[in-house]
Amino acid sequence: MASSWQSVRIDQSEMPLYASLPESGGPVPGIVVVHGQSGLENFIKDTTHMFALQGYAAVAPNLYHRDGKDCKDDNSTRKARLRDPSIIKDIEGAIGFLKNHPRVDSGKLGIIGFCMGGRLVYLMSAANKDLKAGVMFYGSGTMVPFGEGPTPFERTREINCPIQGHFGEEDKNPSPHDMRKLDTELSKFGKEHEFHSYAGAAHAFCNTGREPVMLVCIIPKAAVVAYHLNKIDNELPKH
């Protein structure tokens, strides 16, 4: 496995990307890993490592890049400045990086996100047609807009790819009620999806940067890998 910092230019700003790829081989499927409010922390980097070890190219964009390198604001303040149109540009930049990478199969692209990043999985599954699979972990705020425009929830009819969701039964945002509402809306529009809910799990139960870590996170991490293997590797036409 090889990891490195890369960048793409978005709106006159250099957006850092943390990229991890298998040591050799290709072309391989590509996965965008989207961080939550905590930013591009070690947990997100470790997730890209996990995918690279499974044979995927994984890239994590820093969505706070417009704040500049010297920004001292806390993460909740930085998150409050984010706007959906700019986020879409940022993640499309990460998708473009994968599409143009010589070791990535541009027809096999997926996305995974945690907390705020889970929300953005839902958003990007509607906003981008290159994605073939999306996995959201405890995606908070799907029914709230970042700035003007529709919420991710309101764009459900536009979703272009299967979605898998992982939720904690003790979570408050998203709550079990939120999960059921998402499930109903996806079913209403005939969108392929599967949701998993874990007893005793609160928010961020899979984040290895926090203590204690719920052991249940082992289950969804394994499920994510299997999901991408099935949805990207097996269901898409072979090239």
Determine the pLDDT at residue 112. Answer: 92
* Domain layout of the chain by residue ranges: 2-234
Determine the pLDDT at residue 216. Answer: 46
Segment (H or E) for 185: helix 176-188
Q: What are phi and psi of 40, to 5 degrees?
A: -85, 75
Could you tell me if 16 and 62 are in contact, meaning their C-beta atoms sit under 8 angstroms apart? yes
| Cα dihedral 142, 74, 200, 136 in deg (nearest 10) | 40
Amino acid at 26: G
Determine the pLDDT at residue 78. Answer: 97
Question: Rounded to an integer, what distance in angstroms lies between the CA atom of residue 27 and that of residue 102?
Answer: 7
Question: Rounded to an integer, what distance in angstroms lies between the CA atom of residue 239 and that of residue 236?
Answer: 9
Question: Rounded to an integer, what distance in angstroms lies between the CA atom of residue 176 and that of residue 138?
Answer: 10
Bridge pairing between strands 163-168 and 131-137:
parallel
Residues of the chain with pLDDT under 50: 211-216, 218-220, 222, 226, 229, 235-239
Task: Name every residue whose Cβ is closer than 8 Å to that of residue 179 and which is 6 or more positions away in sequence.
Answer: 165, 167, 195, 197
Task: Name every residue whose Cβ is closer than 8 Å to that of residue 32 and which is 6 or more positions away in sequence.
Answer: 58, 59, 60, 61, 91, 94, 95, 98, 109, 110, 111, 112, 124
Q: Radius of gyration over alpha carbons of the chain, in Å?
A: 16
The pTM score is: 0.90
Question: Rounded to an integer, what distance in angstroms lies between the CA atom of residue 179 and that of residue 65?
Answer: 30
Bridge pairing between strands 57-61 and 28-34:
parallel
Per the document, the length of the chain is: 239
**CATH class assigned to 2-234:** alpha beta
